[in-house]
Amino acid sequence: MERNRDSVAVIGAGSWGTALAMVLADNEHKVKLWGHNPEQIKEINEYHTNKKYLPDIHLPEGIIGFASLEDALFGVNTIILAVPTKAIREVIGKISTIRKEPLTIVHVSKGVEPDTLLRISEMIEEEMPAHLLESVVVLSGPSHAEEVSRRYPTTVTVSSKNMEAADRIQDLFINNNFRVYTNPDIVGVEIGGALKNIIALAAGITDGLGYGDNAKAALITRGLAEIARLGMKMGASPLTFSGLTGIGDLIVTCTSVHSRNWRAGNLLGKGHNLQEVLDNMGMVVEGVRTTKAAKQLAEKYEVNMPIADALYDVLFNNINTKDAVDRLMARGKKNEMEDLTNVLDNNL
C-alpha cells in the first residue's frame, strides 16, 4: 500500500503503547515513544526491548524512545495516547502546557471515569483547551498487546465525531496484520471497550471458582445484554455491540490468559483479596475502576446491570465470590430479551 510517512508520538510506553508503536514503525512512520520512566526509555533506545511489558519482543529500530514530553511532541500533529485512564487528565494537562499548535489525539484506553461518568474522549475534550485540539479519535477492539507485538492477525475499529480524522487514523495503522475498520458510533465504541473489562473480571472469577464454560458463555452473553442496554440509553447504536468493540472485545478479554482483567478476576475467584491481586499484577486492571463508574451509570440511566452490581459488591463490599454468583443465579424469573426490548422500544 502507498502511504505517507508521518511523524507520530505514542504517549505511554506500557504494553499497548509499545505494541501500537510497533505497528506504526512497521508502516514506516517515524515513531517517537514517550514514557515517564527514563530507565525504560534507555532500554528501548539501547537494546530495542521493553522487557517489563513485552518480554521476548525485539522492537523495530525505527522506534525512538523519549523521556522528555516536550521533545516527543516536537514536530508531530498526531499523538497516540496510551496511558491508563487514571493518568489521562494528568498527561493531557502536561501536553496542554507544552503544545502551541492543534493536535489530533488518538486514545486507546478503555474505561469510564468514576463520578464524572465521562467517556475518555469527553475527558480529553474537557481537559485540553479547544484551540489545541484538532480531533479526538478512539481506537478499540479485540487486541492484546502480546499478540499485536508478535504480528498475529488483529482487527480493531476507529471512531470519532470527525470521521475524516478517523479515516486518516485508519490509513495510519492499517496493514496486513492489523486490519482497521471505521464506525461512526463513538459512544458505542467507547462504552463497549470500557465495560467489557468488568465482564472479563467476572469471567476470571467464575474460572477461578472452577465453574467451567457454561458460566463463561452466560457471562459473555448476559454481560453483552447489560452493556448494550446501558449503551443504548447513552445514545449508542445497538449494532455496535455486535461488532469488534462489543462482542469481539468481550470474547477476547473473557477467554484469554493475556487479559489482565481476566487474570485479576481469576485470582479473586481463587480466594486472593483485591489489594493483593492489584499489587501483584504490575500492569493496569482497568475493570476495577470502571466497575465503580458502571454502578453509578446504572443508577443514573436507570438500567438493570446485575453482573456489574454483583462485581461491585465483590470488589468494594467484601462479598464472597461464590455468594455473588449464587445471588446472580437466584434472581427472579425473566424473559431473556425483556430488558433489551424495553430499551429498544423506548429509544424508537
Ligand X SMILES: O=C(CO)COP(=O)(O)O
Give the binding site for ligand X (CB under 6 A): 110, 142-144, 197, 200, 249, 252-253, 259-261, 286
Strand, coil or helix: what is 259? coil
For ligand NAI, the binding residues in 82-101 under the rule CB under 6 A are: 82-85, 87, 90-91
Burial of 206 per CB tally in 10 Å (0-12, 13-18, 19+):
buried
Note whether 109 and 120 are within 8 A (CB).
yes
144 is in an annotated binding site: no
From CA 65, how far away is CA 49, in angstroms rounded?
Answer: 11
Residues 6+ apart with CB under 8 A from 100: 132
- What minimum distance in Å lies between the beta carbon of 236 and ligand X? 18
Note whether 110 and 132 are within 8 A (CB).
no
Task: Mark residues 179-198: x for contact with ligand NAI by CB under 6 A, - for none.
Answer: --------------------
From CA 200, how far away is CA 339, in angstroms rounded?
Answer: 22
Contact partner, 36, from ligand X, ligand NAI, none, Cβ < 5-8 Å per class: ligand NAI
Annotated active-site residue in 196, 270, 300, 333: 196
**Which window, 31-39, 177-185, 267-275, 320-328, contacts ligand NAI (CB under 6 A)?**
31-39
From CA 7, how far away is CA 201, in angstroms rounded?
Answer: 37
Identify whether 196 is a catalytic site residue: yes
**DSSP symbol at 175:** -
Per the annotation, binding residues for NADPH are: 15-16, 36, 53, 110, 145, 260, 284, 286
Per the annotation, binding residues for sn-glycerol 3-phosphate are: 110, 141, 143, 196, 249, 259-261
Per the annotation, binding residues are: 15-16, 36, 53, 110, 141, 143, 145, 196, 249, 259-261, 284, 286
